C-alpha cells in the first residue's frame, strides 16, 4: 500500500503517520522523492480500508494499493519516480539511472592473469568507461570448462582497481564466497543461472552493496522482477537489472535473443535502473556494436561490454569479446550517440596510439 503525503508535510507529521501505520504489523518504509514523501506499507492490505488510512492525517494526499505482485520493485511504489543507484568508486561516485550519463562497464569474461586484467583495465579506463567487469568465479555449462581462478582472481581485480581507479563488478555464485567477493567488488553481480537462487539473493542483499541482477536465460519479466523483490525486501534498495539475452530456439546465428523490448516494458513497470549486455545477448563480437547502439536508442541506463586483448585465446567467451581496438571504436560512437539521446558523455578519448594493441604487452 502507498500513502502519498502532500508537498511540505512537516517531518514530525510524517513520523506520526509512520507510527500510526505500525499497528498493521507490516513493514513501513519512507521513500523521499524530489517533491513528496511517500510511505510504503508492505503487508497483506486486502482487509485494510483505504479510507481509514486516509483519515490518519490531513496531510495524506492519496492512498492506493500496489497491484503488481512485485511491490518494492514496482514503479507505483515510488509514485512514478525512478530510483538511482549511486556507487562510490576510487574515481568518484557513479550514478545508474535515468537522467544521468550512460554508464559503461567493460572487461573480459574471466580474469586470466595480472598482466591481462591490468592492461585491459587501462584500455577500459582510457575510453571513458567507469567499471571493470571480470569473472573470478565462472558458472559454466560444462564441469570441464574453465571455472575461473577464484579468490586469487579477486586480488587481481583489486590490483586493476588500484592502478586505474575503476569500480569493480564481479559475480558471486555461492553464499560461501559472498564475504570474499563483497570485500573486493563495488557491485555484486548475480548471474543468469542464479537469478532464482533465493538464498543467495537474500544474503547478497543483506550485505548492503549494490546488486547487478541478470535476467535468467528463460525467465519472464515478472519472474525477474520478483527476484529483484527478494533483494529489495532485505532493505537494500540498490538493484540494477541487466538484460543479457534469453534462450532461443535458433542457436545457429546468435547465442541468445537480446530482448531490447524490456527497456520500455521495464520503464512502465519498475523504478530500477536498466543495463543491457549485448555481448552475452548476441554471442558474436561482430553484432555487439550494433546492439549496443540500439540499446542506447532504446533508452538503457548502462551497457556491459566484454573486451579481451586476444579473443581467439580467451579462456571463456572469446567469440563475443571485442578487441581493444574494436572497443575504442565502439566507444567513439557511444559518446556521440549518448549525447544525441541526452544521456551525457564521457571525457575525451585518449588517442588510439596511446592505447593501441601494439602497446598492450599481452601474449594472450
CB 207 within 8 A of CB 234: no
- Whether the per-residue pLDDT at 54 is higher than 50: the answer is yes
| Residues of each domain in the chain carrying CATH 3.30.70.1140 | 2-65
Scored b (16 or more CB within 10 A) or e, 248-267 reads: eeeeeebbbebbbebbeebe
| CATH class of residue range 85-359 | alpha beta
Query: What is the pTM assigned to this prediction?
Result: 0.91
The three three-digit cell numbers of residue 336, written as one number: 556521440
Give the right CATH number for 2-65 from 3.50.50.60, 3.90.1720.10, 3.30.70.1140, 1.20.1330.10: 3.30.70.1140
The three three-digit cell numbers of residue 105, written as one number: 562497464
pLDDT in tens, 99-150: 899 999 999 999 999 999 999 999 999 999 999 999 998 776 677 566 667 7
- Tell me 133's DSSP state: E
| Residues of each domain in the chain carrying CATH 3.20.20.70 | 85-359
Separation between Cα atoms, residue 330 and residue 7, nearest integer Å? 45
Q: Strands across the sheet with 2-5, in order? A: 27-32, 37-42, 2-5, 60-64
Using CA atoms, how far residue 184 sits from 100, 156, 239, in Å, is: 26, 10, 18
- Whether the per-residue pLDDT at 3 is higher than 50: the answer is yes
- Whether the per-residue pLDDT at 345 is higher than 80: the answer is no
∠ CA 288-161-325, nearest 5°, is 35
Residue range 157-182: mean pLDDT, rounded: 96
- Whether the per-residue pLDDT at 355 is higher than 60: the answer is no
Amino acid at each position: 500500500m502507498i500513502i502519498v503525503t502532500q508537498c511540505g508535510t512537516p517531518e514530525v507529521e510524517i513520523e506520526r503517520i509512520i507510527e500510526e501505520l505500525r499497528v498493521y504489523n507490516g513493514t513501513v518504509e519512507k521513500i523521499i522523492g524530489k517533491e513528496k514523501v511517500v510511505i510504503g506499507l508492505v503487508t497483506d492490505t486486502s482487509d485494510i480500508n483505504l479510507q481509514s488510512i486516509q483519515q490518519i492525517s490531513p496531510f495524506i494526499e492519496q492512498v492506493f494499493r500496489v497491484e503488481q505482485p512485485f511491490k518494492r520493485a514496482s514503479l507505483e511504489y515510488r509514485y512514478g519516480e525512478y530510483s538511482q543507484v549511486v556507487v562510490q568508486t576510487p574515481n568518484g561516485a557513479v550514478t545508474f539511472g535515468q537522467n544521468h550519463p550512460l554508464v559503461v562497464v567493460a572487461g573480459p569474461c574471466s580474469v586470466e592473469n595480472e598482466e591481462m586484467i591490468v592492461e585491459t583495465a587501462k584500455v577500459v579506463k582510457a575510453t571513458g568507461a567507469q567499471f571493470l567487469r571480470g569473472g573470478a568465479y565462472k558458472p559454466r555449462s560444462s564441469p570441464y570448462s574453465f571455472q575461473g581462478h577464484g579468490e586469487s582472481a579477486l586480488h587481481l581485480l583489486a590490483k586493476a582497481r588500484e592502478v586505474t581507479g575503476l569500480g569493480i563488478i564481479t559475480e558471486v555464485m555461492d553464499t560461501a564466497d559472498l564475504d570474499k567477493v563483497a570485500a573486493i567488488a563495488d557491485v555484486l553481480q548475480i548471474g543468469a543461472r542464479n537469478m532464482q537462487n533465493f538464498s543467495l539473493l537474500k544474503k547478497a542483499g543483506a550485505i548492503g552493496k549494490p546488486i547487478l541482477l541478470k535476467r535468467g536465460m528463460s525467465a519472464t519479466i515478472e519472474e525477474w522482477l520478483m527476484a529483484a523483490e527478494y533483494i529489495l525486501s532485505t532493505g537494500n534498495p540498490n538493484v540494477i537489472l541487466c538484460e543479457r539475452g534469453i534462450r532461443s530456439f535458433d542457436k545457429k546465428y546468435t547465442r541468445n535473443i537480446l530482448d531490447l523490448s524490456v527497456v520500455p516494458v521495464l520503464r512502465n513497470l519498475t523504478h530500477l535502473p536498466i543495463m543491457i549486455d549485448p555481448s552475452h545477448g548476441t554471442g558474436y563480437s561482430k553484432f555487439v556494436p550494433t546492439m549496443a547502439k540500439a540499446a542506447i536508442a532504446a533508452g538503457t541506463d548502462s551497457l556491459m561490454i566484454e573486451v579481451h586483448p586476444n579473443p581467439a585465446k580467451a579462456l571463456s567467451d572469446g567469440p563475443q569479446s571485442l578487441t581493444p581496438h574494436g572497443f575504442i571504436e565502439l566507444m567513439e560512437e557511444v559518446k556521440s550517440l549518448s549525447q544525441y539521446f541526452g544521456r551525457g558523455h564521457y571525457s575525451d578519448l585518449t588517442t588510439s596510439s596511446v592505447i593501441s594493441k601494439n602497446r598492450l604487452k599481452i601474449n594472450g
